[in-house]
């Protein structure tokens, strides 16, 4: 085959590889996070973050409006400190609450924001104080089994 044709094909091949990598990065890996780069930062302290991780979505009414950028530990209060980035167009009142929910039974965890009704808005870098941590399924099942057992023993005792 002629050298020129080979050069063309090799060029196309290398470009294909780069294109594949770019598509993987943006479409599959969501490397960008581009939507939230310009967003503002909020903090929230939770008693328990469960399996929440960096890049977990932050949603309002099921619509993703930001993502978790960092999870740390507050050494004074022993609370999990979550940092997130929120789209700049979304302004949140100061009495806004945040909860950690799970998508479905085994799905991933996300932060759900419940906007409040106060006229003042949270400033970038502010902390959301009204929070509800992740529900610990182990604990919940344990409680259920325990109360069931307690209930049944009570009922058997009355008979």
Partner 1 sequence: MAMLEFIPQLGRRTLQSIPGLGAASRFLLTSLLSVFNRHFSFQQLFRQIYGFGVRSLILMVVAAFFTGMVLGFQGYYALVRFGATSALGTLVALSLLRELGPVLTALLFAGRAGSALTAEISSMKATEQLSAMEMMAVNPLAWVVAPRLWAGIISVPILCAIFDLVGIFGGYLISVPVLGVDGGTFWAQMQSNVTFSGDILTGLFKALCFGVVVTWIAAWKGYTARPTAEGVGNATTLSVVTASLTVLGLDFILTALLFS
Site residues (vs partner 1, CB under 8 A)? 1, 3, 6-7, 9-10, 12-14, 16-17, 20-21, 23-25, 27-31, 55-57, 64, 103-108
C-alpha triplet 92, 96, 101: angle, nearest 5°? 110
Nearer to partner 1, 20 or 118 (CB): 20
CB 112 within 8 A of CB 96: no
Of 102, 121, 122, which is closest to residue 110 (Cα–Cα)?
102
Minimum distance of partner 1 from residue 104's CB (angstroms): 6
CB 128 within 8 A of CB 43: yes
Nearer to partner 1, 10 or 149 (CB): 10
The sign of the torsion formed by the CA atoms of 138, 143, 146, 152 equals: negative
- Tell me the CA distances in angstroms from 60 to 41, 88, 144, one per residue in order: 16, 14, 30
Nearer to partner 1, 29 or 124 (CB): 29
Minimum distance of partner 1 from residue 86's CB (angstroms): 16
Minimum distance of partner 1 from residue 73's CB (angstroms): 22
Minimum distance of partner 1 from residue 80's CB (angstroms): 19
Nearer to partner 1, 10 or 73 (CB): 10
């Amino acid at each position: 085959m002629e050298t020129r044709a080979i050069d063309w094909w090799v060029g196309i091949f290398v470009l294909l590889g780069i294109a594949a990598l770019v598509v993987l990065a943006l479409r599959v890996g969501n490397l960008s996070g581009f939507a939230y780069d310009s967003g503002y930062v909020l903090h929230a302290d939770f008693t328990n973050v469960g399996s929440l991780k960096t890049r977990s979505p932050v949603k309002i009414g099921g619509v993703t409006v930001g993502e978790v950028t960092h999870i740390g530990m507050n050494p004074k209060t022993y609370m999990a400190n979550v940092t997130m980035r929120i789209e700049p167009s979304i302004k949140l009142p100061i009495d806004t609450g945040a909860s950690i929910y799970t998508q479905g039974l085994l799905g991933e965890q996300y932060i759900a924001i419940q906007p409040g009704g106060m006229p003042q808005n949270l400033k970038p870098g502010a902390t959301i104080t009204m929070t509800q941590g992740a529900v610990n399924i182990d604990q919940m099942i344990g409680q259920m089994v325990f109360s069931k057992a307690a209930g049944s023993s009570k009922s058997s005792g009355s008979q």
